[in-house]
Amino acid sequence: MAKKDYVIRVLASPLDVDAASWNTLLASQTPHEAPSPFMRHEYLVAMHASSSAVTKTGWTPRFLTLWQGDMLAGACALYLKTHSYGEYVFDMAWANAYSQHGLAYYPKALIAPPFTPVPGPRLLARNADERLLLAQAAINWCREQKLSSLHLLFGSDADLAACEKAGLMLRHNVQFHWSNRAPGTETDSAQVSASPAGFRDFDDFLMSLNQDKRKKIRQERRKVADAGIRFRWSLGTDISDADWDFFYRCYERTYYEHGNAPYLTRDFFTRMQRSMPGNWLLFVAEHSGPDGGRTAVAASLIAVSETLLGADAQARVAYGRYWGALARVDCLHFEACYYQPLQWCIDHGYQRFEGGAQGEHKMARALLPVKTSSAHWLAHPSFADAVERFLEREGAGIDGYLENLEKRSPLRQGPG
């Protein structure tokens, strides 16, 4: 290490890291924003203990920790990967290029919570210097292990600054997020988070959109209502065991209908119910029959997070995560995954809803484009040079794509 009083320890399980020390570091990373639940110690332990992210599924944990005496000064969730599934930043073309040249791309190293394309802090540290030490230590460890590459996904600005200083290459992509404020009220993140000037109700939100988008959303919601679908929601400990069971039936079935096994086991959600109940919001769609009975047909699970800002303000963020259906109803996905959560966010004063990876169709639902970033290091000099040139071209394309999306904004233009 650059300073002799620091020690790096690589741990084989998140269970080897003290939960309180980890979560304290996490809470200190973004004091003016709500930390997402997905880097909490409980979340990462559940991924491991439920057999969702383990060696058998291609995720071997190697948590990198930075110590100063007995104090945990830095940490990151690092995994050895034998594939590139569940990452949402696609490097399969890089792996193919390695294979064509007779080189092994896997195993590689990944810094990110498994199966979770949500931007947030990845290099947990007390300050910028220690964050840089953590990034440099990760590269050095990858060299020692003779790994092909290191990838940090959906990092924070502080992470990316440390990675760039450590010599990693930056890559950009686009997600779609919704903000609970009218056009023209943008300001800095702390002020936005604390601002009470959100939409009054869903109709007030619709009035911020152009006429075509308002009409489309109303039509889609009407189709679901006319099909006899009604929704109920439950938060935290109010989500019953039966509701968790029903949600997983929907989630599992939807994966299998697309020809894949689900990434997450039922035990993962059991652990979420026990260790992080307050971070989950469940919407259940029910079909009303002619006899007045109701049958559950779909479910959407949303993550929620909040933190105090100053003395009396709170920043609240919701994250679209998982959904599934047992019946086909036109526009049900849009209602369950966007309109119900957005209406809930407005009613409960949540400032932002993040819609997850990809999905340009989300713009029609007023989720606007946001640039996300990752950082990459490749051990092979020639491949690193080739990837760097590729990222320059790709980055220019992303900038052009964002400009094009901004021209197609669903928001109303002009006064009023």
Please say if the pLDDT value at position 328 is more than 60: yes
Rounded mean pLDDT, 34-49: 92
Flag the least confident range among 23-37, 124-138, 143-157: 23-37
Q: Is the pTM of this model over 0.85?
A: yes
Secondary structure in 3-state letters for the chain: CCCCCEEEEEECCHHHCCHHHHHHHHHCCCCCCCCCHHHCHHHHHHHHHCCCCCHHHCEEECEEEEEECCEEEEEECEEEECCCCCCCCCCHHHHHHHHHCCCCCCCEEEECCCCCCCCCCCCEECCHHHHHHHHHHHHHHHHHCCCCEEEECCCCHHHHHHHHHHCCEEEEEEEEEEECCCCCCCCCHHHHHHCCCCCCCHHHHHCCECHHHHHHHHHHHHHHHHCCEEEEEEEHHHCCHHHHHHHHHHHHHHHHHCCCCCCCCHHHHHHHHHHCHHHEEEEEEEEECCCCCEEEEEEEEEEEEEEEECCCEEEEEEEEEEEEECCCCCCHHHHHHHHHHHHHHHHCCCCEEEEEECCHHHHHHCCEEEEEEEEEEECCHHHHHHHHHHHHHHHHHHHHHHHHHHHCCCECCCCC
Please say if the pLDDT value at position 334 is more than 70: yes
Instruction: Tell me which of 371 and 291 has the higher pLDDT.
Output: 371
List, in order of start, the domains of the chain with CATH numbers.
6-175+371-407 (3.40.630.30), 176-370 (3.40.630.30)
Q: What percent of the chain has pLDDT over 90?
A: 86
pLDDT at position 315: 76
194 confidence band (pLDDT: 50, 70, 90)? very low
